[in-house]
Structure 1
């Protein structure tokens, strides 16, 4: 059984979904330790996702929170990580998440965001992160104060206590 369940939500946006999915699938954490579920309101890519071992959930909700609630019933992991369809993860993200959640009392984890611009080479950016290029990191990371779905992980049992509120999250 996977330790982490990744929920990717996509509402009417198809153009970046496969890149987001690939960033979730190309993690340094062994593939049997996490699963990927995509909640979307279109059927495009269903066969591709199935062949990649990704679960798909049709969800035509107007709120992202309701899409997440629909996907939760398909999750098996103890920890839920979110990824927006237009975001990417660094390859070691889930390995770091697993390490953090070894602390039994931890219920919620989030990290900083790195904004990148159209046309930038993602592999070069990831390389600078791997090298711990402090100047690059200082100049490019967005403060932890803004939070988006893709920087958030939470224990499933904690999340399940908030289902009614979660359904309302836009």
Structure 2
């Protein structure tokens, strides 16, 4: 019998954190799983030796790609589960994470994935009292979110449990864009295919430390260009209307305008690529002025 849940863990040269991550999976109350660790070409065998200590881990080592995107795609190719979960090698799951989410997807077949928010921990694993990924109103991240999500928010990578059928329909993570932003593009694509089930619970502990890839904001400057490619494809497929396209493009332009504090040159250049007439949008101009003055 195939495992019901495949857990894919990309890793690179931090076996110390990886051990805690694996243990958080081993300690799940839901046990019908397979664990796939994909090493992105670490310069040593520490992660390999660690994985050998566990009886139910499939370990693969690939040529270094510089980030978690290719390992995630590789791990999915090796997976067998009906449900897929991605977990970075420095984050942790609470013991009931999978059990709760598997039950939700079983009871709600119209939803392609279920996600939640995270409590933040520091380098030593101490809870900081902060959280990430929690909306002001749960409805914002629940249901048909395609008009609410794009350009505004994304899913926290360690939180979703995804149907295999959804991954097969949406396709792989985009390996031809900045690694740190590929998850934003991927979950946005998913939003046009399925409804999202949001749990207002912190079932994940998200570790913030000096080596977090997500701490670098520069790669996100070009994300709006990739998001526009998504809506261009969606209107070609006639899965969104012209009115919806205009709403989504405006949201994308606003998200681009917010990048003015990261790179002015890139922001203005990208705005012209997104919409040559962006300057007549007073809301955009207000966003830019507010960010510059702040």
TM class by shorter chain equals 0.7 to 0.9
SS, match of residue 67 in structure 1:
helix
Equivalent residue number for residue 154 of structure 1: 162
- Whole-Å separation in 1 of the counterparts to 2:173 and 2:126: 38
- Whole-Å separation in 2 of the counterparts to 1:44 and 1:120: 21
Equivalent residue number for residue 71 of structure 1: 75
Over 3 Å counting, the alpha-carbon distance change for 1:99 and 1:117 in structure 2 is same
Q: Work out which of the residue numbers 54, 57, 69 in structure 2 matches 1:54.
A: 57
Tell me which of the two structures has the higher relative contact order, counting C-alpha pairs closer than 8 angstroms and 6 or more residues apart: 1
Shift of 1:45: 3.1
SS, match of residue 72 in structure 1:
helix
Q: 1:28-82 CA distances to partner (integer Å, 9 max, x unpaired)?
A: 11x2x11111111233232431341101121322242211111112211111111
Q: How does 1:113-132 map onto structure 2 within 5 Å?
A: 113-119=118-124
- If you compute each CA radius of gyration, which structure gives the higher value, 1 or 2? 2
Q: What is the root-mean-square deviation of aligned Cα atoms in Å?
A: 2.3
Q: How does 1:97-108 map onto structure 2 within 5 Å?
A: 97-102=101-106, 103-108=108-113
- Whole-Å separation in 1 of the counterparts to 2:35 and 2:47: 14
- Whole-Å separation in 2 of the counterparts to 1:146 and 1:164: 17
Equivalent residue number for residue 23 of structure 1: 24
Equivalent residue number for residue 3 of structure 1: 4
Over 3 Å counting, the alpha-carbon distance change for 1:28 and 1:18 in structure 2 is same
Task: Give the TM-score normalised by structure 2.
Answer: 0.47
Equivalent residue number for residue 96 of structure 1: 100
Q: Which runs of 5 or more structure 2 residues have no equivalent in the other structure? A: 136-152, 180-294
Over 3 Å counting, the alpha-carbon distance change for 1:160 and 1:146 in structure 2 is closer
Higher helix share: 2
Q: What is the aligned length?
A: 153
